[in-house]
Amino acid sequence: MIGFFIQRLLQAVLVVVAMSMLVFVGVYAIGNPIDVMIDPASSQALRESLIQRYGFDRPLYAQYFIFMGNLLHGDMGESFIYRLPVFGLIFSRLPATLELAISAMLIATLLGIPLGIWAGYKPDAVSSKVIMGVSVLGFSVPTFWVGLLLIMGFAVELRWLPSGGRGPVTELLGMKLSIGSWEGLSHLVLPAFNLALFKLGLLIRLARAGTVEVMSSDYVRFARAQGLSESKVLGLHVLKNISIPIVTVFGLEFGSTLAFAVVTETVFNWPGMGKLIIDSITVLDRPVMVAYLVLVVVLFVLINFVVDLIYGQLDPRIRIKAAQ
């Protein structure tokens, strides 16, 4: 178990190093960040003094080693643009993204899996056909467009919900969250639903495919023969057996939702991490880019680790294999 964990940790370190190199080389290839950041009316002398101050005059490998040296001391550096420690900057945006991503995943899971099982259980029913039709829309219509439609419908025409932004936040579990008040929640509904749509479609399809396959298996027939009620058959045998692929996809999707909710965040003006990273890229704010991507790598490794643990819980065969 501990060996497994250490192996994962080493993997993460390797990916972090490779990725930070990529960012350094990438930014270097685009040009000098100073030329993007500087005021157009600045003189040449000012430009040179700034280049020196930020160390852009040093060769790339020297800049990289200075960065890595600081990193080993736990210092990720300061944003060029805000002169604030980058981790503070990113973590100040994390709660907003976290609650958006979790709400979206909850909507997708709580709706998607039951609907998918239903569609697989009664593949010929009209309701199942409708569900499958909706799921195709879910992952084929672009997010930004659905987002705009949602805004036009629910915010501009009906005026039921706000068009964007984050409502008032309250302190919950040490984080500033908007789920603590009705108004905060009303701000969360549209973006969370918009972000959930794609995953909803995906989970419906996965659950349905799994259910169709499992329903014709021997153990379902035996369970029925044993006289178990249909709900027990579905809830106990079917759900457990279709869970492995669903958990895998859930993990991956959760990671990418956290890291790349940027389209939804932009359309709904949600002050999350995705917007921060896009803004940083447009001004070549390298410390923020590196720190953010490092965080994403760590997140993915963590989520995958948790997913692996859940596998063991779900399927005894995996546990036994691991033990051997």
The whole-angstrom separation of Cα 289 and Cα 277 is 6
Min dist. Cβ of residue 245 to other proteins (A): 36
Min dist. Cβ of residue 147 to other proteins (A): 9
**Any idea what DSSP says for residue 105?**
H
Min dist. Cβ of residue 45 to other proteins (A): 6
Site for other proteins in 60-89 (CB under 8 A): 80-84, 89
DSSP 43-68: -HHHHHHHHHHTTTTS-HHHHHHHHH
Identity of the amino acid at 33:
P
Min dist. Cβ of residue 42 to other proteins (A): 6
Q: Mask: binding to other proteins, 15-54, rule CB under 8 A, as x and -?
A: ---------------xxx-xxxxxxxxxxxxx---x---x
Min dist. Cβ of residue 20 to other proteins (A): 20
Site for other proteins in 219-258 (CB under 8 A): none
The whole-angstrom separation of Cα 65 and Cα 119 is 55
Q: Can you state the angle between helices 286-314 and 239-259, rounded to 10 degrees?
A: 170
Query: Which of 189, 271, 302, 305 forms a contact with other proteins (CB under 8 A)?
Result: 271
- 155 lies in the binding site for other proteins (CB under 8 A): yes
Q: Which helix (H) or strand (E) holds 284?
A: none
The whole-angstrom separation of Cα 3 and Cα 9 is 10
Q: Which is nearer to other proteins, 92 or 256 (CB)?
A: 92
Query: Which of 182, 216, 218, 231 forms a contact with other proteins (CB under 8 A)?
Result: 182
The whole-angstrom separation of Cα 106 and Cα 84 is 33
Q: Reduced to 3 states, what is the DSSP secondary structure of residue 32? A: coil
The whole-angstrom separation of Cα 270 and Cα 272 is 6
Q: Which is nearer to other proteins, 112 or 287 (CB)?
A: 287
Identity of the amino acid at 255:
G
Interface residues with other proteins (CB under 8 A)? 30-32, 34-46, 50, 54, 80-84, 89, 92, 148, 151-152, 155-156, 159-165, 167-168, 182-183, 186, 266-269, 271, 275-276, 279, 281-284
